[in-house]
């Protein structure tokens, strides 16, 4: 049952982040709001997958910036008695950006993280199938490493979805 819940929550998050008011629309709105239009990516590759960056690059071409959405953990708090599952699914949207120069790498990654946060803010409420997103998220930025097109940096946006099944 837990594998199905994690996959279902990930699919719901993928719908919201890749939809018409998702990350790509957020990037367009943020670039018009005084950001650097030259450094703003036109689109973002979004998929439901928990894979390390070096492994993803070995399996085929990767478009950057990339957002990988996955379920980190499920917590059955039994808030509602006599339900099979009543708790939360903790999801993560890992944003990776790579380019050949350090200049602008962190700025573009922060812009993408803002776009993910903006898409989550617009997705508050009932997600259907017993899932509800009340809002709130945490963003953690990683250090620049070697990888991708030369330099690679990632940020992880973590958020919880209430589940009652």
For each of the domains in the chain, give its residue range(s) and CATH number, in order of start: 2-164 (3.30.2000)
Structure tokens at 62: 């990767």
Q: What global pTM score does this model have? A: 0.90
Q: Is 74 strand, coil or helix?
A: strand
- Does residue 139 contact residue 157 with C-beta atoms inside 8 Å? yes
The tokens for 37 are 């239009």
Mean pLDDT over each residue of the chain, to the nearest integer: 90
- pLDDT of the residue at 10: 96
In the predicted model, is pLDDT for residue 1 greater than 80?
A: no
């Amino acid at each position: 049952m837990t594998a199905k819940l994690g996959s279902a929550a990930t699919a719901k998050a993928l719908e919201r982040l890749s939809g018409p008011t998702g990350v790509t629309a957020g990037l367009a709105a943020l670039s018009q709001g005084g950001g650097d239009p030259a450094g703003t990516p036109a689109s973002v590759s979004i998929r439901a997958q928990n894979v390390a960056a070096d492994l993803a690059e070995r399996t085929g071409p990767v478009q950057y910036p990339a957002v990988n959405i996955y379920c980190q953990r499920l917590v059955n708090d039994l808030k509602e008695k006599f339900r099979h599952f009543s708790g939360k699914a903790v999801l993560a949207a890992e944003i990776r950006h790579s380019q050949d120069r350090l200049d602008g790498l962190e700025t573009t990654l922060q812009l993408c993280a803002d776009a993910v946060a903006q898409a989550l803010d617009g997705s508050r409420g009932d997600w259907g199938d017993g899932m509800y997103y009340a809002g709130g998220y945490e963003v953690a930025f990683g250090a620049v490493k070697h990888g991708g097109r030369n330099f690679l940096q990632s940020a992880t946006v973590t958020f919880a979805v209430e589940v009652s099944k």
